[in-house]
Chains A and B, each alone.
Chain A
Amino acid sequence: MRSFFKAYKDILVYHDYGPLLLFWNIADLANNRVLWMSYGEALDGGNEWAYFQYCLYFVVALGMLFSLPNIRSCSRFVGTYLMLYIFSTTRFLVNVFSDPEFAAGEVGRSLVVTGVYFTLWVWIYVKMRMEVMHKDLRG
């Protein structure tokens, strides 16, 4: 049982993030609402701020995709993406705790999914920064 969990730990510590980041990035871009919704539609629904946020996500994800071969630049885009993620998650949490109507929805499910995605991005970011750091130290 212990070796079973150790295998998972080894996957997290030693396996590379590159292919995961590439596919996740493409999926993220394809899933972005900017591609499937016009600004007019967002404006009609009163979601223009969310639309801008998705625009930012889209731009950062594109930057990530094109800077993937250059780990230093890519880590900056991943860092920006994480900041956006923290921003939107905190905004969501503040809304949940301050607005009872908002909290009535599928908050638990959203939080679990957000938590998993957040862990994923943090893992990728930490791995990238470590790689950059070790490259810098090696000179």
Chain B
Amino acid sequence: MDKPTATAALVAVVTGAVSAGAFKFYEFMLKQKREVQKEEKAEQALYRDDLIKRVEKLEEERDEHLQQIIDLMTEVAGLKVEVDYVKRENEILKLKIDAMR
């Protein structure tokens, strides 16, 4: 092998090795970046799932409280009618007592 051929072969091999190493390094960097992104995404997903659970729980509680309010309002309406009836009866009784005197 003459000198130019040997030099050229050496340069080609060294360039090939260096570029392969550079690509491997870049691939490693990309993988690292991707891993960090994946972790961040997983954290965000965890936070989101927690928020969804909390919202579901709060909605359930709200529904329960709404039902309680409706029940209470029904009871209050019934009591109002009863109180009106008792008041009216009381007035009648008062009038009857006055008439007896």
Q: Write the residues of chain A forming the contact surface with B, with a CB cutoff of 8 angstroms.
A: 49, 79, 83-84, 86-91, 94-95, 98, 129, 133-134, 136-137
Contacts and interface: CB of A to CB of B under 8 A. Distances in A.
Interface in B15-46: 15-16, 23, 26-27, 30-31, 34
A91 B5 contact: yes
B7 interface: yes
Nearest to A126: B23
Given A79-B16, A91-B5, A98-B4, A86 B11 contact: yes
23 contacts: A83-B12, A83-B15, A84-B12, A86-B11, A86-B12, A86-B16, A87-B8, A87-B9, A87-B11, A88-B8, A90-B8, A90-B11, A91-B4, A91-B7, A91-B8, A94-B7, A133-B23, A133-B26, A133-B27, A133-B30, A134-B30, A137-B30, A137-B31
Contacts of B11: 86-87, 90
Main secondary structure of the interface of B (DSSP, over half): helix
B3 interface: yes
Contacts of B5: 49, 91
Main secondary structure of the interface of A (DSSP, over half): helix
Interface of B: 3-5, 7-9, 11-13, 15-16, 23, 26-27, 30-31, 34
Contact of A94 (B3, B15, B26, B34): B3
A48 to B, nearest CB: 13
Smallest CB-CB A-B distances: 4 pairs: A91-B8, A90-B8, A94-B4, A87-B12
Contacts of A133: 23, 26-27, 30
A139 to B, nearest CB: 10
B38 to A, nearest CB: 11
Given A83-B16, A86-B15, A90-B8, 7 more contacts: A83-B13, A86-B11, A86-B12, A87-B9, A94-B4, A129-B23, A133-B30
